[in-house]
Every structure is written in structure tokens, then in C-alpha cells.
Chain A
């Protein structure tokens, strides 16, 4: 291996360790090495250029740790599978760091180690990366069938990579929506050895097929044996929610957060579920942690500020609700979504304080942002609705309610919340009229579409469903129904560029609205198969 041509990045908060790494790398000819002292500095470096090898200490002092940095890099698409990422830990951290996340580095090194050991590890990893290169590229570009057959070639020719190949195959199958095949594959790995990640993969494949009871039992077993493996708490909470066990899901996430409190995503989910369970104290704590842990990372979104502010309002603390918006003003002003959150939450606060004039000014500001096409989260819509009702802006309220109802006619809890808001102001009859008018057309169109589909009138069915999509452009189920019929038509009537682009557009919208919807992966795979045929 020619290390002279490779670019390296060393991330460690201690200058003495950074130079020690550099000299260890130089001892086998790797001299093109940059250094970074913090996660933020590392991200800036990686933005500027691609590194072949990244060596990162788990402990980076204040702020994000090495694992969080790795996850952020992968999530932002800044680190592809072809690059090597080595995590360095002290022996004292090793047991709690290693194999606890779903998304791991290529290898772990324990301090102390020397240049020879570092080189040995790299000598083993680089040829593996080389062998997998084309598979990684196919996977990255969404050529999943090609990636799968590439895996089978490696399986035949390189028996020593058998477990790496099987693991990657499992990921590809899940991405394709082939959950049954994925389950079979993970069972095969578990039979070789029940390593934690293989059991986690199996549980995920089961969950995605709706086999909740089996998935739950398996996850409880993993957690019992490997309590540090935080990814299993997150999945278990999903499985419990799928069974409408919101209390259990909250408990599970609380245990996960106790093992590792640093993840803003976990804290956010915990807060959302606690809020749903009306456990305001837990929700407050979790949303505060979300803001704190997510600060200066891509994981923080404006809705996190809205969540905490919402909890304070429910607790009857309007002052705290406005303070959290004010304290995060700079962050909120960076984006239009953020500005909308600030306007909506402050209008709520003013409405609570009976400061109608101020509430109205904020609502008008929010309405302007909304008209400019900011995509609004349904919870935020409800907040706005509440402020409008309280401030006596019925016209605006009805406008928002109409839009919420059109896009969520099949979401009864949300509609009930809206009804309650009107009822509190003694306007329940208005709510009913608006709801009826708003949902009538989308309900009618979906019903007609379904009927025509039953009769086998695919063309006419699609027409109705596309009209329904215009009515409810933010309802993932309506969009997916239309996409499904488009794909059926392609199958029946043969290839057509029109139908293909239509399905593609619809699924792209769903991907934006509900990227983790269980139906999405399967529809995408079907779409891809037609696209391959077309080419």
C-alpha cells in the first residue's frame, strides 16, 4: 500500500496526541496529514476536501464526541463508505463506546498503540475498501440491484469478508424494502454468531414487516445482554409505539437517554412521546436537553424551540415560553421556518396574556411567512390556529383549519384537537362546518378512486387520486396511493415516461414529508425497477 498518496485527518483535542499521531503515520510514509482539535474544526476541514483516512479520538473534550461527529458526517453525506474512519478510545471508555451505535467506524483502536499497529490495521482495511469500492458506489447512487449482485461476487471470491458482505447486504435489502429477505439474511448471520448488530438487524427487519411481538422480545433480550447498545432502545420504542404502547415507549427512551444522554434526536423523541402521554415534566426536561445537546449541530431544528415553548404554555408558564424563543432568537432568524416558529409561539404567548394587539401582529407576520411557501409542521399549524381563535381572528383561523383538515382528514386526533380549540371559544359549530367543507372533496375523491381501482379502472382511478393529491398535497398516504396506482398502470399498460416521472415526483414529495414511512421503501424499489427497464 502506498501511503504517500493518501490524505489523512487526525482529530484529537490534545496537541501532543495530534503530533504523536502525525509522527506515527509519518513512520510509514503517510505525510499528507491535516489535524483538527474539535468536531467543528473537523467538519470545516472535511467540507473543504476529501480524506482517505480519518483518525478520531472518541473523547473530544467539550461539545460533540467522536461518535456524534461520525454520525453527523454520515448523515450530511460528507463521509462516504470508501473513506476509512478509525475511532480511538482509552481503555477505560472502550467497553462503553464499542458496538453501542448502529453506525460504527471501520475499526476501534485502544490507546496506547504504536505506528506498527496503526499500519497493520490500515493494511487490512484498505484492501477491504478496495474490494467493496464498486458495491459502495452502486449503493450510494441507488443502484441497489447492482450493489446486491456485487455483494454476491465478493462472497464467492473473498471468504474472509463474508460477515462484512452479509452485513452490507442486509442494509441494502432494508433500503430496497425487501424486509422478508433481510430477515432471512440476518437469521443466517445470527446462526453463525449472535453478535449484537445482527440481532438488531433482525429485529429491525421484523419490525418493518409488522412482526411487533417477535421484534420486541428480541430487543429486550439484546438490551438485557448489552445495556450500552443505545440503538436498541430507539428501535424498541418504535416497536412499542407501533403497538400503541406509548407509556412503555417513553420508559424505553428514558432508559436509553440514561445510558447516553447526548443524542438530541433521542431526547426529541422522548419529549414528543412524553408530551403525548401528558407527562409535562419529562417532556420539559427532554426538550431542554434537545436544545442543549443539539446546539451548533445540524440536528437542531426550529421545531425544537417550538416544542419546549409549547410545554411551558401547557404548564401555564407563558413567560418561560417566550423566554425560550427570545434566547434562541439568533438561531430562529437564520431560516424562514425559524422565523415562523418565533412568530407563532410569540403570538400564542401574547394571546395567553390577553395582549390581543400584539398577538394579531404576530399572526399576520406568520401568515405572510406561510403565504411565502414555508412548509408548516402540523403541530405548528395547530398552535397558530389556537392563537387565531384566542385573538378572535376567525377568518385566519378558518383558513388554517381548512388547510390542516384537507391534509389530515385521516388523522382524527389532530382534528379533535382543532375541534377542542374552537369549542373553548364557544365556536364548535363553526369548526364542524369548516371541517366538513374542507374534507368533503378529498374524502369523496379518495373514495371514488378506491372504487374505480376495485373495478379495475386504473386510468380513471388515477385521475381521481391525482385530484385528491392536489387537495391534500401534504398527506403522505394520499400521495402514496396515487404513486401506487401509477406503478400498477406501468405494469399493466407498459412503460411510459409520463407515468414514471409522475410516480417519481409523488414519491419525492413523500420522502420530504415522511421519509421513514414503512410503505415508501417498497414503492421506491418498484419505481427503480421500471426506471432500469426504461433505460
Chain B
């Protein structure tokens, strides 16, 4: 049954969705233009360039996540269709290249534990969006060092972004740990997205999850069955 009021609400939401979509496309073009501007070696120029590139990417990411969260909730879907086999080392390499391309001055390392198999099953595109968001966060707060880590835990692949920042504030740790709703803006949106993506990784009876903790800095972990 469609009530007239319901239809209007739906139309309004679709209007928001297409507006976000268009803004995102404009940003894509803008970020490509920004990539064309070269570093000059002039410290002040390069710093500003890096900053504006990171900002642009973050806005585009945010819009994309907002759209995804919105649509995913609407379709009621929980399982990702694009889960397939990918080499774990390719995932780590790609994240590192992405992080280094922003030239934040951070040292970025990748670590693959010996017991991690050559391949794992995940939705690489979605997982990367969630992990890149965490990487970009770390770039803002870390002092000097970021590690991208793959290890096994309880027969699940754990992909972690670890930094040497002061760590997550207590209320964020609490919200994620207790599954309390996060605010839909700023860091909250990124975490909501990551929770959703982790949870959509289902293997038999087991479901993936997001875990945050502080250990020598902030540790962002996606556990994938």
C-alpha cells in the first residue's frame, strides 16, 4: 500500500540520492584535474596540493559511502554478490600505493603474516573503500607511521590499519564495540559503512565484523570469515 505521503518521502529521498550522485561525479572530475597538477618541490605548494587532494578524495568517499549506506538499507540486502577470490598481497599493495600517492610524509608499511593464505574471499572494491577511509583518517591523526597488516585470527582474515596516533576517543570505541548507532556524519559515516561491509561478508554461519581498539595508536580491523 502506498500512501501519498509515503510516495512524497520516497521521491524526496531519491532526489537527495541523485543530488549526491551528481556531486560525486563532479568531484571525480575535479580530483582527476587535481592529479594533473604536478608537485614542484616548493614545500608550501606541495603541502597545499597534498592537502587539497586528500580533502577532495575524502569528500568523494563520504558521498559514495552515504549513497551506499542509503541504498543498502533501502534494498534490505545483507549479502554482497561480488565476493570472490583475490590475492591478499595484491590488496595490501594496492592500499599502500593509494596511501603513498597522497605523499603525506608518513611512513607506510605493509605486513603479511606467514599463515595468511595466498588468496581470500572478499568484495575487494567495497573492502578497499572502507580500508582507504580508515587510512585517510590515520593520515590526519598519525604522528609518523602507518601499518597495513594482514593476519589470521580464529580462521578469519583480519586486515588492519594501525597508526601511532593517540588512538580513538572512548565514545567511538564504545559505540562500535556495543553496536550502538553511530552518527551519520564525519567519522561516524565511515564507521557505519565499514560495519555494514564487514557484516555483509558471510561465510556459512559466520559473519564478518569491524573492530576498533587502541594499542600504541589506533587499530582499525576488518575481520572476514
Residues of A within 8 A of B (CB): 16-17, 20, 23-24, 27, 90-92, 94-95, 98-100, 108-112, 114-117, 119-121, 124, 159-160, 162-164, 192-193, 195-197, 225-226, 228-229
- Are B94 and A117 in contact, CB atoms less than 8 angstroms apart? yes
Tell me which residues across on chain B come within 8 A of A229, comparing CB atoms.
81
- Are A163 and B125 in contact, CB atoms less than 8 angstroms apart? no
Other-chain contact of B118, A90, A95, A111, A162 (Cβ < 8 Å): A162
- Are A112 and B28 in contact, CB atoms less than 8 angstroms apart? yes
- Are B67 and A117 in contact, CB atoms less than 8 angstroms apart? no
Complex: chain B residue closest to A158, CB-CB: B118
Q: What's the dominant secondary structure at chain B's contact region?
A: helix
- Are A116 and B101 in contact, CB atoms less than 8 angstroms apart? yes
- Are B121 and A193 in contact, CB atoms less than 8 angstroms apart? yes
In the docked arrangement, what's the CA distance between A114 and B35, Å?
8
Please list 11 pairs of residues, one from A and one from B, whose beta carbons are closer than 8 Å in the complex, sorted by A's number.
A24-B32, A95-B80, A95-B81, A99-B81, A112-B28, A114-B35, A117-B94, A117-B97, A119-B97, A160-B118, A228-B81
Tell me the number of A-to-B contacts counted with CB atoms below 8 Å: 106
In the docked arrangement, what's the CA distance between A16 and B67, Å?
23
Q: Select the residue from A23, A111, A160 with max chain B CB neighbours within 10 A.
A: A160
Given the contacts A116-B98, A124-B90, A163-B119, A99 and B85 also touching, CB distance less than 8 Å = no
Complex: chain A residue closest to B225, CB-CB: A193
- CB of B158 closer than 8 Å to a CB of A: no
- Are A20 and B29 in contact, CB atoms less than 8 angstroms apart? yes
Tell me which residues across on chain B come within 8 A of A112, comparing CB atoms.
24, 27-28, 31, 57, 60, 64
- Give 15 new A-B contacts, CB below 8 A, not counting A114-B35, A116-B97, A193-B121: A20-B29, A23-B35, A90-B21, A95-B81, A99-B84, A111-B24, A114-B32, A116-B101, A117-B98, A120-B93, A120-B94, A160-B89, A160-B118, A162-B118, A225-B79
Within 8 A of A (CB), among B12-52: 17, 21, 24-25, 27-29, 31-32, 35-36
- Are B29 and A195 in contact, CB atoms less than 8 angstroms apart? no
Within 8 A of A (CB), among B64-99: 64, 67-68, 71-72, 75, 77, 79-85, 87, 89-90, 93-94, 97-98
Tell me which residues across on chain B come within 8 A of A164, comparing CB atoms.
85
In the docked arrangement, what's the CA distance between A159 and B87, Å?
9
Complex: chain B residue closest to A89, CB-CB: B125
- CB of B129 closer than 8 Å to a CB of A: yes
In the docked arrangement, what's the CA distance between A193 and B129, Å?
23
Complex: chain A residue closest to B102, CB-CB: A116
- CB of B184 closer than 8 Å to a CB of A: no
Tell me which residues across on chain B come within 8 A of A228, comparing CB atoms.
81
In the docked arrangement, what's the CA distance between A228 and B75, Å?
12
Minimum C-beta distance from A115 to chain B (A) = 6
Which 3 residue pairs across A and B have the least CB separation, nearest first? Answer: A163-B85, A112-B28, A98-B82
Given the contacts A120-B94, A160-B118, A111 and B28 also touching, CB distance less than 8 Å = yes
- CB of B203 closer than 8 Å to a CB of A: yes
Tell me which residues across on chain B come within 8 A of A192, comparing CB atoms.
85, 121
